[in-house]
Amino acid sequence: MRKIIIDTDPGQDDAVAILLALASPDALDVLAITCVAGNVPLDLTTRNARMICELAGKVDVPIHAGCDRPLARMLVTAEHVHGKTGLDGITLPDPKMPLADGHAVDAIISLAKANPGVTLCPLGPLTNVATALNQAPEIADNIVEIVLMGGAYFEVGNITPAAEFNIYVDPEAAEVVFKSGIKLTVLPLDVTHKALTTRPRVEQFRALGSVGQAVASWTDFFERFDKQKYGSEGAPLHDPCVIAYLLRPELFSGRYINVEIEVQSPLTRGMTVADWWGVTGRAPNATFIGDVDADGFFNLLTERISRLPVS
Ligand code: RIB
Ligand code: CA
């Protein structure tokens, strides 16, 4: 059983990741969901997180609002990918569950102090996590691993030619996390672009009842950006790869390498400079995942989502 904190900017793919985690109480104890500005502004990511938990029938998970902008830059959002609401594709009822008291950064700090061995699962820009580490560096001793979605090497960038969105939005925060010395597992575009929602996979979701239908509607909306840009056969389910890695790490493979973050250049800001071939001699600091058994991933996802109550 792993105690986890999900830090997120929902986002259709974040939503599927949250559903996967909430559908796995046998393996994951979700201590809290902390929201950050990213795909859409903070007021929408906190609204979306509550709607997702209500869809899953899991309204006892504390949801905290966090940072509404990056450490040192203007916020960049991704409505062009996720739609105006951040969860376009289906209209869910307005959330009824309240936000938990306290800022997300304070929640991360207090939960890390109270739960030695906790795993952080960032699915968006790393602003909340970096701020918590800056304010309370001692929590690093209690964080057994950070498993995050972000970065790219072979796939290079999705928001600029050089950078992946989560790292691009707040490169200074990413630098704090990548230099923290905490065990780091990174799920970059290189692996998430291999987890594509092909038609048969989406129809499997749709057959699962209300939650599966929501997932299928989200991916139907979400996939248009990647199909148009990459000509891919569906949407890459970026963030669910983080939770699937926790549940079945054997589905994934990668290398323990050095990864540094570009924070200076206006041209390549947010690039994850991944030393995949070990040419720099710099000390490794991250397990950088490059491959996934996509069928195994979707079978896990479908089976787990089928466990959620049909609302
Ligand atoms: O680049 C993909 C990442 O950016 C995903 O986490 C998506 O939700 C957005 O946050
Ligand atoms: Ca995300």
Among 79, 80, 129, 149, the mutation site with the greatest number of ligand 1 atoms within 8 A of its Cβ is: 149
47 vs 176: CA distance, rounded Å: 28
- 243 lies in a domain? yes
Say how many Å lie between the CA of residue 305 and the centre of ligand 1: 21
Say how many Å lie between the CA of residue 281 and the centre of ligand 2: 32
Spans in the chain with pLDDT lower than 50:
none
Q: What is the DSSP string of 195-241?
A: SB--HHHHHHHHTT-HHHHHHHHHHHHHHHHHHHHH--SS-B-TTHH
Say how many Å lie between the CA of residue 60 and the centre of ligand 1: 25
Say how many Å lie between the CA of residue 9 and the centre of ligand 2: 5
Query: In this predicted structure, what is the pLDDT of residue 311?
Result: 62
- 311 lies in a domain? no
List CB contacts of 22: < 8 A, sequence separation 6 or more: 30, 53, 56, 58, 61, 308
Write down the H helix ranges in 23-164: 42-55, 79-82, 104-114, 127-135
- 310 lies in a domain? no
**Can you give 136-160 as a three-state secondary structure string?**
CHHHHHHEEEEEEECCCCCCCCCCC
Among 7, 9, 232, the mutation site with the greatest number of ligand 1 atoms within 8 A of its Cβ is: 9
* Nearest protein Cα to ligand 1, atom 10: 124
Neighbour tally for 211: CB within 10 Å: 24
Angle, CA of 221, 244 and 51, to the nearest 5° = 45
The share of the chain scoring above pLDDT 70, in percent, equals 100
Catalytic residues: 238
Query: In this predicted structure, what is the pLDDT of residue 156?
Result: 85
- 290 lies in a domain? yes
Q: Summarize pLDDT for 104-122 with one digit per residue, the tens.
A: 999 999 999 999 999 999 9
- 239 lies in a domain? yes
Query: In this predicted structure, what is the pLDDT of residue 230?
Result: 82
Greatest CA separation found in the chain?
54
Query: In this predicted structure, what is the pLDDT of residue 209?
Result: 86
* Nearest protein Cα to ligand 1, atom 2: 165
**pTM > 0.95: yes or no:** yes
- 157 lies in a domain? yes
Q: Which domain holds residue 138?
A: 2-305
Per the structure, the count of domains in the chain is 1
- Under a CB-based contact definition with an 8 Å cutoff, are residues 140 and 182 in contact? yes
Q: Give residue ranges with CB within 6 A of ligand 1.
A: 9, 11, 13-14, 38-39, 123-124, 149, 158, 164-166, 238-239
Cβ burial, residue 133 (10 Å; 0-12/13-18/19+): buried
Q: What is the CATH number of the domain that holds 17?
A: 3.90.245.10
Angle, CA of 114, 110 and 116, to the nearest 5° = 30
Query: In this predicted structure, what is the pLDDT of residue 299?
Result: 97
